[in-house]
Amino acid sequence: MFCLILMVSVAQLSVSDTLWTEEADGYQIEVYFPEIVLENEFVRNTLQENALEQIESFKEQFREYYIDELHTIEWALDLRFVHEPSPKNMACIVNWTWAYTGGAHGNSNTQSIIFNLSDSSLISTLELLGGRENFELFASSVLARLQEIGVDETWAERGASADTLNYHTVYPVPDENGGISGYTVIFPPYQVECYAAGPIEVFVPK
């Protein structure tokens, strides 16, 4: 019965405001949406689906591992969808995720979601950068930037190599005319540096 109640509560997530919360015995969840979800149905539906997937995964872990008899910790999931300044006809959203499921500290991650507002479609990282060859050149530029700021070479080569899985958070930065001036990349803790370094962010001019 307990699992059934949790599954039903997930299905009831509906974006009608910029804040959605849920609290139960042993966990709490907060989801922050940008204002654009109230204006654009495609963005709203996409971000709602994204949030649902993360919430369902979190609750599945909770049901499997949380020992409610002990009541020693409270799990938490914090999803923040941030609408970054975007080039013309785009909406660039960065999902900042923080989850605590026990241990010394929580874990964080990021994901960019790039919308083409002119035809209500999503733009992949490869599409954004102009294909595989350009992506590989871009990854080389990112590695060079990481070396400039002193990131350990071994960490950087592992976490910023030309694998699209490494580039889950890439978004375009607009110029003064609404075009693209370059791209921001965010690496969460542990990907290219230790946890204490926090998220690592680099900008690569176009």
Domain ranges of the chain: 1-123, 125-206
pTM: 0.87
Instruction: Give 123-157 pLDDT, tens digit per residue.
Output: 999 999 999 999 999 999 999 999 888 887 787 88
Q: CA–CA distance from 18 to each of 8, 50, 59, 146, 181 (Å)?
A: 21, 15, 22, 35, 29
Res. 9 pLDDT band, cuts 50 70 90: very low
d(CA 48, CA 121): 15
125-206 has CATH 3.90.640 classification:
yes
The two three-digit tokens of residue 66, written as one number: 């949380």
d(CA 119, CA 2): 42
Q: What is the DSSP string of 30-42?
A: EEE--GGGGT-HH
CATH classification code of 1-123: 3.30.565.40
- Summary mean pLDDT of the chain: 88
How buried is residue 76: exposed, middle or buried, by Cβ count under 10 Å (0-12/13-18/19+)?
middle
Res. 195 pLDDT band, cuts 50 70 90: low
d(CA 61, CA 67): 11
